[in-house]
Structure 1
């Protein structure tokens, strides 16, 4: 009798769809979303499960309130907005920022499918040969829209012959981004709501150090499970 029940249980697993198997055992990966609140409004980013080290580190820092009150200290229009320097919280006006660290790095997690399209969330880093990421500094891509000719020229000059996959080229030609950063900086998330906030901050006046003349502060929090589910339903309806 026990053997018969065991056989039936195994057969039931084999015939149910993959998503149901994950649901049975509670192993289905859930997406984590982080709200970034600014004076211009709110952006929401999805963290990629394909980059677990960066995801988990970012979640920890957000839950520890590390980012609250920090600045987007480096802003370059048609490129990106960067923040996360702990020295920026109480920085004097006009002070040059960007060197603040937490004393450790995150191993690079390059994935061919994760690239610097507009809205990408990526980790900043210094010039270390391993291309390990800063534990705390990040940037959100604004970028620009490219033509085929511009992408061809980029492949030849800046990418040293590396070919941009066709599906990525289509994104860079429509949505835009910063393709020369691919495979050099780890992309670990993307803006799913509020991309206009990135555009607004990217367009503010800056000083000689690319620091906004008017401080652009941030507050962050991880969305609760119910909020994340409602967001996903809304995003699905908007498609």
Structure 2
């Protein structure tokens, strides 16, 4: 009897460990192409919230409403017509902020990083994340001497591998330790480049709409 209990307990532990190690990926289809992100298990609250939204179909018809070339592309802050009322209902259902899960220097704002938008420190000193809006980093390249400016008392010395990433692949180091990075782009950089190169107007909003058609968990 004890042996059966031990085997059962071992099986439960193995299944739990497997669930924690599972890698989740989400494919987005937009009106300018597809891209795929993977979600980090190190940020479980953001991962689970994002997966829940995708399962709900929450991102369908939401816009990339803020696009800044060589910086980032941001989605989820508005919807295209005639889905505005649906978007307002979505925001009402998902109004609670997500507690920050900042894991710098393990997770940082390299090119392709997936991170959560948020309101500013004055209203949000705990750096909690918006439950819906996300952005994907594009960034710029940096010299090693330029990265010294980001080695503050709070952040500490920037690890060599992080420096190397910013120097060779690019990113936005000034956002590190400020916003939660919870995933990264694994496919579709060409699509993100199409988005970042779109002409924008007031508030960095694309003049021609870029929107998510659908999102699905792979």
Encode CA deviations 1:181-200: one digit per residue, 9 max, x unaligned. Answer: 01110000000111221122
1:195 aligns with 2:189: yes
Q: Give the SS at the match of 1:190.
A: strand
Q: How many residues align?
A: 202
Encode CA deviations 1:90-117: one digit per residue, 9 max, x unaligned. Answer: 38xxxxxxxx673210000011211000
Q: Give the SS at the match of 1:169.
A: helix
Q: Give the SS at the match of 2:140.
A: coil
- The structure 2 residue matched to 1:140, chosen from 136, 145, 149, is 136
Matches for 1:172-187 after TM superposition, within 5 Å: 172-187=166-181
Encode CA deviations 1:148-178: one digit per residue, 9 max, x unaligned. Answer: 122123447xx88743221100000011110
Of residues 118-127 and 190-199 in structure 1, the stretch that sits farther from structure 2 once superposed is 190-199
Distance 1:53 1:160 in 2: 24
Distance 1:148 1:188 in 2: 25
Contact 1:117 1:141 in 2 (8 A): yes
Matches for 1:1-239 after TM superposition, within 5 Å: 24-25=14-15, 27-28=17-18, 29-85=21-77, 87-90=78-81, 102-112=94-104, 113-127=106-120, 128-155=124-151, 162-224=156-218
Q: Give the SS at the match of 1:122.
A: strand
Encode CA deviations 1:6-33: one digit per residue, 9 max, x unaligned. Answer: 7x97xxx8xxxxxxx8995463121111
Distance 2:54 2:157 in 1: 36
Distance 1:22 1:143 in 2: 43
TM-score (norm 2): 0.82
Distance 1:47 1:25 in 2: 19
Contact 1:34 1:220 in 2 (8 A): no
Contact 2:30 2:214 in 1 (8 A): no
Of residues 32-41 and 124-133 in structure 1, the stretch that sits farther from structure 2 once superposed is 32-41
Distance 1:50 1:154 in 2: 23
Structure 1 unaligned residues grouped into runs of 5+: 14-20, 92-99, 225-239
Larger radius of gyration: 1
Structure 2 unaligned residues grouped into runs of 5+: 83-90
- Change in CA separation of 1:104 and 1:165 when aligned onto 2, cut-off 3 Å: same
Q: Give the SS at the match of 1:27.
A: helix
